[in-house]
Amino acid sequence: MNVEKIMLDLEKKHPGEVEYLQAVREVLENIEDVYNDNPQFETANVVDRIVEPDRVLTFKVPWVDDDGKVNVNLAYRIQFNNALGPYKGGLRFHPSVNLSILKFLGFEQIFKNSLTTLPMGGAKGGSDFNPKGKSDAEIMRFCQSFMLELWRIIGPETDVPAGDIGVGSKEIGYLYGMYKKLAAENTGILTGKGLNWGGSLIRPEATGFGNVYFANEMLKTKNESFSGKRVGISGFGNVAWGAALKVTELGGKVVTISGPDGYVYDEKGISEDKIEYMLELRASNEDIVKPYSYEFPSAQFHEGKRPWEEKVDVALPCATQNELDKEDAEKLIENGCICVCEGANMPCTPEAVEVFIENKILFAPGKAANAGGVATSGLEMSQNSMKLQWTGEEVDEKLHWIMSSIHQSCVDHGTEEDGFVNYVRGANIAGFLKVANSMIDHGVI
């Protein structure tokens, strides 16, 4: 495999797809040696087959707003690779959604799902629709129109979408209702469902919990724990609140949360009652970060800034892609941060990752450290197939086991001669090997 040549070809074929090209380059650079040591991969041309999605569905979503105006949004479903099982990956509703972002997310999802040990292929989808500021009726009409098109290519044994940014339990409910009506079936299509109709306990907090379990495993390798640690978190969405809750439970102190317009620093710690308050704001579709700083006098709002300038021991970027750059990374190191564990997908730029690896701190990529979300979605699928619901303790125990097992795979494939664990390399190699070997088993299809 010649990474530069493959990248040149891909750049020609897909000009301007920056995020997708960035994600592919990272994986190829990490797996290059393993790939070249195993001639069967080249014989089956696994690399050219794995970097392109199996198929991309692009469709328009017309919907009527509360003023009677007809709106049109663009939507996609990228079915990337199903070597390990049915396509699986979230739907994102956000104005920034485009083909490049969804292809990057779908590509990452292949390896993330592989790491979970569960039988799931990789996919992603979404729309440039912005649910913020929309009424429930508008969101419902949008979701119904979206599903009118999507339902043709999904199914409980073929492709099982989930939530992501802008797609929570409300949207999943409307999508599920429409699918049920169209397909005339009540099956485990979609994960992140409501508890009353096939959802799994622990799913809402699973990505954040899993992220903290992973960080805890990393800390253990240095005989450290969360107890007494200052923790910086970005965002305050699905991933961030679960992480904040678990950090607090393990004895750490969360000192930051953030939104697109700035961050809040709270020296007293963002703990349980404050998290509850923010969840209430979230449920009412209101801004969270600024109102938090008005409600709690110990908190200061830093307009237009990112939380990484604060002194923390552990950083959990849980908001969005490329939200932590080289300068932020250098600041974290300067302030004595020992562990960065990605809760979001690709929140650290490649230059920031380089800084962490050069300084040999504990750094985990999202594809390993946020896999708890999709893993619990996989557990939701298992429960749906069996037509039963496990207890919260059972699901949490399985999630914990899966995160420890992903950590071990990263250690097995990412430990360097001097004992430093390169979790990025470890995750990419472990995720890739399983998919590549399965593709070979299935022949050229």
387 catalytic per annotation: no
Of positions 188, 373, 378, 426, contacts ligand NDP by CB under 6 A:
373
Told to check if 260 binds ligand NDP by CB under 6 A, we report: yes
> Which residues make Cβ contacts (< 8 Å) with residue 414, sequence separation at least 6?
421, 422, 423, 424, 425, 426, 427, 429
Told to check if 319 binds ligand NDP by CB under 6 A, we report: yes
Minimum distance from CB of 382 to ligand NDP (Å)? Answer: 17
Phi and psi (nearest 5°) for 223?
55, 40
Told to check if 259 binds ligand NDP by CB under 6 A, we report: yes
Minimum distance from CB of 20 to ligand NDP (Å)? Answer: 14
Of positions 85, 237, 365, 426, contacts ligand NDP by CB under 6 A:
237
Of positions 145, 238, 383, 384, contacts ligand NDP by CB under 6 A:
238
In the bound state with ligand NDP, the residue whose beta carbon lies nearer, of 172 and 439, is: 172
What residues numbered 143-182 form the site for ligand NDP, per CB under 6 A? 163-166
Catalytic residue among 124, 229, 246, 253: 124
Distance of CA 300 to the CA centre of its chain: 28
Tell me, by CB under 6 A, how many residues bind ligand NDP. Answer: 24
Of positions 345, 384, 409, 428, contacts ligand NDP by CB under 6 A:
345
In the bound state with ligand NDP, the residue whose beta carbon lies nearer, of 41 and 53, is: 53
Told to check if 370 binds ligand NDP by CB under 6 A, we report: yes
Told to check if 125 binds ligand NDP by CB under 6 A, we report: no
In the bound state with ligand NDP, the residue whose beta carbon lies nearer, of 78 and 436, is: 78
Told to check if 239 binds ligand NDP by CB under 6 A, we report: yes
Site residues, ligand NDP (CB under 6 A): 163-166, 207, 234-240, 258-260, 318-320, 323, 343-345, 370, 373
Which residues are known to be catalytic?
124
